[in-house]
Every structure is written in structure tokens, then in C-alpha cells.
Amino acid sequence: MTSVKFLSNKESLYGFEIKGHSSSDCDDFEGKIVCAAVSSAAYMTANTITEIIGSECDIMVDDALMCVRVINPTKETQVVLDGLKLHLTELSKQYSKRIKINTEV
């Protein structure tokens, strides 16, 4: 299962952490598709925040792990993170056995 944790202060999101794989094994086609969708959305979010908006972030990427923390969140970064949260929340409704969403305050 893929676990998504959105990082929030009491006012807004400032990052996310994604762990795990949505597929159960090498032959799990649906799981691979879900994993790719989550990964693609996460990379687009990170790239938009760092390369388009130009915000500084602490980023860690490893196998089955991506963690992005915006150093000085802005309205623009908030909007992008809100978009990711909406996208992954909707995916988790379709694939509830593959994606779990949490928000940490």
C-alpha cells in the first residue's frame, strides 16, 4: 500500500511524504498503474514548486519514498500542494486498498 502524509501547520500545507508501493507483486498490473499515477503526480508537484515557482525545498527521494518540505511556503506552493492532495484523495477513493491519505499537523 502507498501511504501519503500531507504536512500541515494549522493554516496550510507545507509538504508531503509518500511511502510504499501500490502494487503487491511484479504481476499486479492495476497496482503498477496506481503507483505510476501517484509517482507522476508527486514529481509534477515537486518540479512545479521548485522549478516553476522557484521555492526552496528539502527533498528526499529513494526507492518507495518521496518527501518534500517547502522551506518558506507561499500561496502559490499552497495551491500546488492542495491540487496534489485533491488528486491523490480522489485516487484513494477509487483505489482504497492501494492508497492511504493522512494529514499531519
Q: Compute the average pLDDT of residues 18-26.
A: 84
CATH class, 2-104 region:
alpha beta
Q: How far is it, in rounded angstroms, from Cα 60 to Cα 39?
A: 14
Q: Where are the domains of the chain?
A: 2-104
Phi and psi for 5 in degrees, rounded to 5? Answer: -120, 120
pTM exceeds 0.85, yes or no: yes
Q: How far is it, in rounded angstroms, from Cα 3 to Cα 74?
A: 25
**What digits encode the pLDDT tens for the residues 41-62?**
999 999 999 999 999 999 999 9
Check: CB of residue 38 under 8 Å from CB of residue 22: yes
Residue 12 has pLDDT above 80, yes or no: yes
Angle of helix 29-47 versus helix 75-94 axis, rounded to 10:
170
Q: How far is it, in rounded angstroms, from Cα 105 to Cα 13?
A: 9
